[in-house]
Amino acid sequence: MNTTTSPLTIQSELITAEEKAFLAENGYLSLGSVLNHVQLDAIRYRIKELLIVDGEKSGAELWDSPYIRHPKEEGADRLANLVNKDPLFDIFYTHPRVLAGVAQVVGSELKLSSLNYRAAIPGKGNQKLHADWHEAVTPGNYLVCNTIWLLDNFTKENGATRLVPGTHLSGILPQEELEDPWATHPDEILVEEPAGTVVIFNSHTWHGGTDNHTDAPRRSVHSYFCRRDQPQQLDQQKYILPETYARLSEEARRILDVTQP
Ligand SMILES: O=C(O)CCC(=O)C(=O)O
């Protein structure tokens, strides 16, 4: 655990009053374009390399986590522990506007829970509607918040993420209420946005992947945050490399909740 006591610098003014109200009411918010074409190309290239380097072990750090309660997903390519796999990925957990949005959900005492890649592979990708927390929470007492960084245009055809707006306010998990959490929900919306967009979603909002009906993977990075008093999905202290730690600012170390390895 990081012993630094200084609070994070969250610039809440980077999210407008309208955006805050939309996120509070709907449980998600598109921040619009955050990554430009040059950044997108570099990230996609590095991800492609890592899928080869990590090979069969791709995503293994995630499946080893005691906080993952479902088996390895067959319909998706995964990479985990991206914090330690390239400085290119630092932006995913340090971007000021993204942090400001996440702080609207879990408060400014936040930390990174995990940083993963997920691609719905051709012909697959559908997920049950779920919340990213094992139990329902009282509306307002939110513990986790996800941000999905689109590396491709998300469309109805290629497996755009689905969300059921407002369900973070229900205090109910989808499996408690729905007869078939795999089925299309009458109120669900699809995140149909261009590559480079970041969408923040309150992780207690019911959501899930959908099937990719194209012949190319639908790629994204999930930068997942939690309240500081909660365990991380990936124990960042266990994985932090000396070279990663050395290049990070004190603020970034605090977001990861790490000390010198
Ligand atoms: O990648 C997506 O579209 C959603 C993934 C998701 O919700 C998850 O893996 O828990």
In a domain, 7, yes or no: no
pLDDT value of residue 5: 60
Question: For residue 209, which atom of ligand 1 is closest to its CA?
Answer: 3
Evaluate whether 61 touches 218 at the Cβ level (below 8 Å). Answer: no
How far is residue 121's CA from residue 76's CA, in Å, rounded to a whole number? Answer: 5
Amino acid at 154: F
Question: Phi and psi dihedrals of 84, rounded to 5?
Answer: -100, 10
Does residue 49 lie within any of the structural domains? yes
Pairwise CA distance, residues 51 & 57, whole Å: 9
Return the best residue to mutate from 70, 127, 204 for the ligand 1 pocket (most ligand atoms within 8 A of CB): 127
5: CA distance to ligand 1 center in Å? 33
| Centre of ligand 1 from the C-alpha of residue 237, in Å | 24
Task: List pLDDT tens digits, range 61-119.
Answer: 887 777 766 667 788 999 999 999 999 999 999 999 999 999 999 999 999 999 999 99
233 falls within a domain: yes
pLDDT at 62: 85
pLDDT of residue 210: 97
Strand partners, 253: none
For residue 4, is it within any domain?
no
* Tens-binned pLDDT, residue by residue, of the chain (261 aa): 554 567 889 999 999 999 999 999 999 999 999 999 999 999 999 999 999 999 988 888 887 777 766 667 788 999 999 999 999 999 999 999 999 999 999 999 999 999 999 999 999 999 999 999 999 999 999 999 999 999 999 999 999 999 999 999 999 999 999 999 999 999 999 999 999 999 999 999 999 999 999 999 999 999 999 999 999 999 999 999 999 999 999 999 999 999 999
What tokens appear for 259 in the block? 């000390």
Does 164 fall in a domain?
yes
Question: CB atoms < 10 A from the CB of 103, how many?
Answer: 20
Domain holding 60, by residue range, is 12-256
Element (H, E) at 116: strand 110-120
Give the per-residue pLDDT at 114: 97
- Cα angle, residue 215 at apex, residues 85 and 127 outer, rounded to 5°: 70
Pocket test for ligand 1, best of 206, 222, 234 (most atoms within 8 A of CB): 222
Determine the atom of ligand 1 nearest the C-alpha atom of 191: 3
Are 80 and 60 within 8 A, CB to CB? yes
Which of 248, 229, 245 lies closest to 237 in space, CA to CA? Answer: 245
Token pair listed for 98: 């993204």
CATH of the domain at 41: 2.60.120.620
CA distance 210 to 198: 18
pLDDT the model gives residue 6: 72
Q: Of 7, 218, 21, 175, whose CA–CA distance to 101 is shortest? A: 21
- Residue 239: the pLDDT is 96
In a domain, 196, yes or no: yes
Return the bridge partners of 200, or none: 29, 147
State how far the alpha carbon of 241 is from the alpha carbons of 103, 115, 128, 184, 204, in Å: 27, 15, 35, 42, 31
Q: Would residue 74 count as lying in a domain?
A: yes
Closest CA to 110 of 68, 162, 147, 63: 147
Is 2 contained in some domain? no
Q: 62 with 114: CB under 8 angstroms?
A: yes
Counted domains in the chain: 1
